[in-house]
Amino acid sequence: MSLVIRLTKKGKKGEAKYRLVVSEKRQRRDGRSVEELGHYHKYLGKTDKKINSERVEYWISKGAQISATVRKLIES
């Protein structure tokens, strides 16, 4: 079982909201996830982001890979 930490898209058309989730690599982008780790929402020049860094570190220690977009979010 290969795990990846990535964004999943929620919200309505034109108002996209993203959730940071741990899911299996073979699952669809918006498919079933193992755990939700936070959220990210960019609107009108503002950014609302909340990431549970303890859980991110836990999943990385268990072998989960991080997508490039999530890596940028964590670093900023």
Q: Give me the CATH number covering residue 8.
A: 3.30.1320.10
Q: Provide the pLDDT for residue 68.
A: 93
Burial of residue 35, with CB atoms counted within 10 A of its CB: 0-12 exposed, 13-18 middle, 19 or more buried: middle
Number of structural domains the chain divides into: 1
How many CA atoms, within 13 angstroms, populate the side-chain half-sphere of residue 15? Answer: 2
Higher pLDDT: 7 or 44? It is 7
Please give the residue range of the domain that contains residue 13. 3-75
Q: Provide the pLDDT for residue 44.
A: 66
pLDDT in tens, 8-55: 988 888 888 899 999 988 877 777 778 899 998 887 677 888 999 999
pTM: 0.82
